[in-house]
Amino acid sequence: MKDTKVPSLSGRPIRNAVLALAFIGGLLWSADLFALTKRPSDSNPISFRDARAQAQEFIRENERITLTPEQQKVMNKALSSTPAPCCAQYSVATCCCPCNLAKSVWGLSKVLIQKHRASESEVRRAVTEWLAFINPGESAGNACFTGGCARPFHKDGCGGMDAKRLI
């Protein structure tokens, strides 16, 4: 039988590769640790990381998902007590119009209810977190009446009216 050499873990190429992977892993871990993302809370299984991309995703889900009558009741109850940030005299459940901000909230709610079986309070809490994430400043509650339909979320706006053209 022939002797075969088995590569040693103490060899330089392998050791260097392991050290490089450990270094890269450490960088990724620390970048994630200090990333400017809203981590999921106990009641919100979705982490908020990119307002624009996730708003587009939630808007698509709003169009795609049809809730059962029971699920729709959960959504309506969860959203009816939260004023719409763009038109505060309406709740975010109805808003004054189907702007991109409202559609993103509705889509997020539908995802939470249908895919994660979220309760009314869990949906309400996640929507509150989402609204704070997309507009960290204080909402004036009158964007729809002050030209805010054409402003991005982070500038106290509605993000536009066309789902295919998020501002």
Predicted pLDDT at 78: 97
Pairwise CA distance, residues 51 & 117, whole Å: 23
Q: What average pLDDT does the segment 58-75 reach?
A: 97
Q: Provide CB contacts within 8 A for 147, sequence distance 6+.
A: none
Percent of the chain scored above 70 by pLDDT?
74
Q: Which residue has the tokens 């004054």?
A: 96
Question: Full-prediction pTM beyond 0.85?
Answer: no
pLDDT higher at 46 or 24 = 46
CA angle, 91 then 119 then 100, to 5° = 40
Predicted pLDDT at 30: 31
Predicted pLDDT at 31: 34
As separate numbers, helices (DSSP H) first and strands (DSSP E) second, the chain gives: 5, 0
Q: What average pLDDT does the segment 44-65 reach?
A: 94
Pairwise CA distance, residues 113 & 137, whole Å: 27
Predicted pLDDT at 17: 43
pLDDT higher at 39 or 165 = 165
Q: Which residue has the tokens 């991109």?
A: 100
